[in-house]
Structure 1
Amino acid sequence: MTKSSDTFKGPTTASPLPVPLQALQAEHQLILRVLHYLDAPIEDFATNAQHHVPIIRAYLDFSQHYTDRFHHAKEEEVLFSYFDSRESIITAMQADHVLGRKWIHTATEALIVGDHQTVAMCLRSYRNMLTQHIQTEHAQLFPWIFHRLTHAQIEEIGMRFAAIDTHFQNEKKHFEDWANRLANPDALTR
């Protein structure tokens, strides 16, 4: 049974979110930075696809591996497991993850068959949804979680996140390096 003294009282300006939630926020920043760098290729894709196919293909790979298998695994398999799955905020976040997977899958299939209009439409929808999703997590989900977890639970979450980081260590580094190279498009061809 959790003692009330073990429960966090919520973030204040003097008390930032705990380290595991800060780690998720840092991953969000990387994801948002990648989305920002892909704004132009996504908008131009339907009319100038051949020029952008390599970056779009790399982005789909990033989204499937870094965003979904790595980052969303932390949220779905670890963080959300501490709460009733019927909580409206949890179901909304999971529904966004499912919708995002559908858009990325559809964009991937459309890229294979050369349906550039569908690729562009799916990626625009995904970008818009994911941007709003991350804003909702920062403004609503993380404070909501913060108010409900004990110190012991946060420590356990931190250890479980570390295990995921270790498991995905090579993939994580690969995609972080790729995302950092987006700032210099010439470096992407190296």
Structure 2
Amino acid sequence: MKTDVTKVMVEEHQLILRMIALLESNTALMEEGKFRDWQFFLDGVDFIRHYADRFHHAKEEDVLFKALVKNGMPEQNSPVAAMLMAHDQGRAHVRAIEEAAQKALDGESGQLGVIAENARGYAALLRDHIDKEDNILYPLAEKVLPEEMRPAMVEAYARAEAAAPADFTERYRKLVEKYEARLAA
């Protein structure tokens, strides 16, 4: 039985997808004039930056992708290169959302379109990205990575998780649940 090196990533994607759904729903409501909670967008940026990027993407970039390259996948013009490029594109959308939401929070008008364009761009990018990882890259990794590499990968994931504050995942899960409850109300 091979050690599963992508299960934790798929599980983390579920919370990320819930935040993406909130981003999509609240952006649509914002465009209809029914949502003006700029703090939500800043909290979304915080979630994306810390949970999705520094916590989740860091495991992919520092552990899984490096293992794939070490095992023979090309670094350039490969699925790994495409995933890294998507991570960078996502970071650009997040910076734009943060700047516009902060300006809106400070009372500057005209930020709605910037927030909407980048929130929708990020959501579409990440949905596609997660779909490719869950259905193409991760199954490929499970197929090609030799068992002897896997325990060290699992240990590296555990080190990354141990480096995060004790309540890290729980805090971000609660943040998502809070906004889900508001949306449902």
- TM-score w.r.t. structure 1 length? 0.82
Equivalent residue number for residue 158 of structure 2: 162
2:21 to 36, 43, 50: 36
- 1:105-120 matches, within 5 Å, as 105-114=95-104, 115-120=111-116
Q: Equivalents in 2 of 1:51, 1:116: separation in Å?
A: 9
Note the C-alpha offset of 1:47.
5.2
Give the 3-state SS of the residue equivalent to 2:93 in structure 1: helix
Note if 1:96 corresponds to 2:81.
no
**Count of residues in correspondence between the two structures:** 172
Equivalent residue number for residue 86 of structure 1: 76
Q: Which moved more, 1:140-149 or 1:42-51?
A: 42-51
Asked if 1 retains the 8 angstrom alpha-carbon contact of 2:75 and 2:81, the reply is yes
Q: Equivalents in 2 of 1:49, 1:99: separation in Å?
A: 29
2:171 to 141, 166, 174: 174
Note the C-alpha offset of 1:74.
0.4
Over the aligned positions, Cα root-mean-square deviation in angstroms equals 2.2
Equivalent residue number for residue 142 of structure 1: 138
Note the C-alpha offset of 1:22.
0.7
Q: Equivalents in 2 of 1:50, 1:42: separation in Å?
A: 8
Equivalent residue number for residue 60 of structure 1: 45
Q: Equivalents in 1 of 2:114, 2:66: separation in Å?
A: 35
Give the 3-state SS of the residue equivalent to 1:184 in structure 2: helix
Q: Equivalents in 1 of 2:128, 2:35: separation in Å?
A: 29
Task: Show CA shifts across 1:72-129 (max 9, x none).
Answer: 0000011111114225100000000000000001111122223121011000010011
Q: Equivalents in 2 of 1:97, 1:38: separation in Å?
A: 17
Identity of aligned residues (%): 25
Q: Equivalents in 1 of 2:181, 2:9: separation in Å?
A: 25
Note the C-alpha offset of 1:46.
4.0
- AA of the residue aligned to 2:160: I
List alignment gaps of at least 5 residues for structure 2.
Answer: 105-110
Note the C-alpha offset of 1:150.
1.3
- TM-score w.r.t. structure 2 length? 0.84
- AA of the residue aligned to 2:51: Y
Query: Residues 49 and 65 (structure 1 numbering): CA distance in 2 closer, same or farther, change over 3 Å?
Result: farther
Q: Equivalents in 2 of 1:94, 1:131: separation in Å?
A: 15
Query: Residues 119 and 113 (structure 1 numbering): CA distance in 2 closer, same or farther, change over 3 Å?
Result: same
List alignment gaps of at least 5 residues for structure 1.
Answer: 1-5, 9-17
Equivalent residue number for residue 126 of structure 1: 122
Give the 3-state SS of the residue equivalent to 1:137 in structure 2: helix
